């Protein structure tokens, strides 16, 4: 049986523009080799590559990885099923990415509130 959703337990995404593969690995609880594999399987995942073929992911990439992770690990989709779900019309109606963005914003606002209270 599948384990319960761990997306609520994932750390907040810092307010940076670019993330290394190691940082994304920690933010999404997925190993780097899995991220490289998903790049081949999901056309939506296309990090910027700089010198030495180093990958730099942006915030929308991290959110997409979290969405892929939720489809595969929590909802039990296969790679093909998740790819179809993300590329089909259902992806437009899927609010998972927006929910994660809202949770992220709430976390950041709570952090600001804590700083202001000091």
Please give the structure tokens belonging to residue 16.
């940076």
Nearest to 84 by CA among 44, 57, 46, 29: 44
Q: Is residue 2 over pLDDT 50?
A: no
> Would you say residue 3 has pLDDT above 70?
no
- pTM score, whole prediction: 0.70
User: Which tens digits make up the pLDDT trace of 4-27?
Assistant: 445 557 888 888 899 999 999 999
pLDDT tens string 16-65: 899 999 999 999 999 999 999 999 999 889 899 888 889 999 999 999 99
């Amino acid at each position: 049986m599948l384990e319960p959703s761990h997306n609520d337990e994932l750390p907040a995404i810092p307010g940076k523009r670019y993330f290394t593969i190691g940082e994304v690995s920690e933010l999404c609880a997925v190993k780097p080799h899995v991220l490289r594999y998903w790049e081949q399987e999901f056309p939506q995942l296309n990090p910027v590559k700089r010198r030495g073929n180093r990958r730099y992911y942006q915030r929308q990439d991290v959110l997409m990885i979290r969405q892929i992770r939720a489809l595969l690990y929590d909802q039990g989709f296969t790679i093909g099923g998740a790819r179809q779900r993300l590329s089909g019309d259902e992806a437009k109606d899927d609010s998972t990415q927006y929910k994660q963005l809202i949770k992220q914003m709430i976390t950041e606002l709570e952090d600001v509130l804590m700083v202001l209270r000091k």
